[in-house]
Amino acid sequence: MRYTTLPKTDIKVSKICLGTMTWGNQNTQDEGFAQMDLALDRGVNFFDVAELYPVPATAETYAETERIIGNWFKKTGYRDKVVLATKIAGPGDYTAHIRTNGFSKEALNEAVDNSLKRLKTDYIDLYQLHWPERQTNMFGVRDYTHSSKDPWTDNFNEILHNLDNIIKSGKIRKVGISNEKAWGTMRYFEESNAHDLPRMITIQNAYNLLNRVFEGDMAEIAIREEIGLLAYSPMAFGVLSGKYIKGIEGEKARLKLFPRFARYSGDKATEATKRYLKIAEDNNMTLAQMSLAFVTDRPFMTSNIIGATSLEQLEENIDSINIRLSDEILKAIKEVHDDIPNPAP
């Protein structure tokens, strides 16, 4: 395994982070336990979860993933071996079963306390805001269109003050953001700098060969402001395994079970995936390993969040840490990206 530290901290984390959002839906508790055992054995010390998980989010399965991790901590006693990240769900129609008061003081305190209980721990290493409260372009919306009917009012300072109090209580150590845009990221920095408030040290956004929009304004912000990307969906919902193109996906494959998650399956994305698959096969590696190796070694990357529904997939994904792409391979990837840029933003 390779390691780094969370930006501006001495918290050591693996460059591969274990994603968990299938546990409690596509995976059982026993399967989640086996994945955590394997990951820890292979040097992965960074686990990411969210109160929302598993996905798709439903009232019936709400927070089951956190409960599974908490049960594993209780069984193994391994809490001190893991850097643990979780998230408070942002507002939205599909999170109304969780709460409807956004990132208010009451919401943050409730969410943190409930996560601690489910996770069976007394602290969270990295606490993240899952997506913005305001209306903005995320989750596959390419361009920003302003809405004058957005009821949101600027509360960045208030959120940071409330997080500061929770940090001082010892319940969380550091804070981060997720599915955030350039403007929101800089507003958090502005308030942190002006008022000596906690600094967002990570941003968890989608990033993969089919969606590299982070490389625009966000990449410059990440490098210059030292906020590390935690890349989710590095395999584009499994599309970048090549299994859908080859027709070898199993019945439990994510897009078979949940066809609405089809943002990586359009014509342009499929064309690009076929070309990436050829590059990988021409260089004697799997498309999954090439895709993950590319993400892991970006200069703005802190950790690459991998997920799997089987131990075989998990082993292959973790093994990608040993692959360094040659200049020739990177040139071939660039040619595809130049021809078909961001077909699934």
242 within 8 A of 273, measured Cβ to Cβ: yes
CA–CA gap between residue 103 and residue 53 (Å, rounded): 18
Nearest Cα residue to 199 out of 236, 235, 225, 178: 225
Residues facing residue 83 across a β-bridge = 46
Q: Which letter, b or e, does each residue of 196-235 get, where b requires 16 or more Cβ atoms within 10 Å of its Cβ?
A: ebbbbbbbbbbbbbbbbbbbeebbebbeebebbbbbbbbb
Angle (CA) 330-296-143 rounded to 5° is 80
64 within 8 A of 23, measured Cβ to Cβ: yes
Whether 78 is catalytic: no
CA–CA gap between residue 166 and residue 120 (Å, rounded): 18
Q: Which of 3, 53, 62, 232 is catalytic?
A: 53
Catalytic residues: 53
